[in-house]
Amino acid sequence: MVSKFSGDADFIGSTFKDAYFMVSKFSGNAYFGKSKFSGNADFMGSEFNGKSLDFRGTEFNRLQDQELPCRHAKQLAQNLGDKEEADNYYYREMEGRRIRLQNEPLTPWVISRRFKFTIRPDNYYKEIVFKICKFIKYNIFEKYFIQEVFGYGVHPLRLWIYWFAFVGIFAMIYWIGGGINNSSTSQLSNIIEHPWLTISIGGINNSTTDRPLSILDYLWFSLTVAVTPGFAGYKPAPGIYQVVAGIEAIFGTFMWAAFITTFARKYMR
Residue 83: CB atoms within 10 A of its CB come to 16
pLDDT digits (tens, 9 = 90+) for 11-24: 999 999 999 999 99
Q: Is the pLDDT of residue 224 over 80?
A: no
Q: How far apart are CA 229 and CA 241, in angstroms?
A: 15
For the chain, the maximum distance between any two Cα atoms, rounded to a whole number of angstroms, is: 81
Q: What is the helix (H) or strand (E) element at residue 174, kind and residue range?
A: helix 156-177
Q: Is the pLDDT of residue 187 over 70?
A: no
For the whole model, what pTM was predicted?
Answer: 0.77
Evaluate whether 12 touches 32 at the Cβ level (below 8 Å): yes
Domains and CATH numbers, the chain: 4-103 (no CATH), 109-153 (no CATH), 156-267 (1.10.287)
Span 41-56, average pLDDT: 93
The pLDDT value recorded for residue 228 is: 66
The pLDDT value recorded for residue 1 is: 66
Q: Is the pLDDT of residue 129 over 90?
A: yes
Q: Report the chain's C-alpha Rg in angstroms.
A: 26
> pLDDT class for 182, splitting at 50, 70, 90?
low
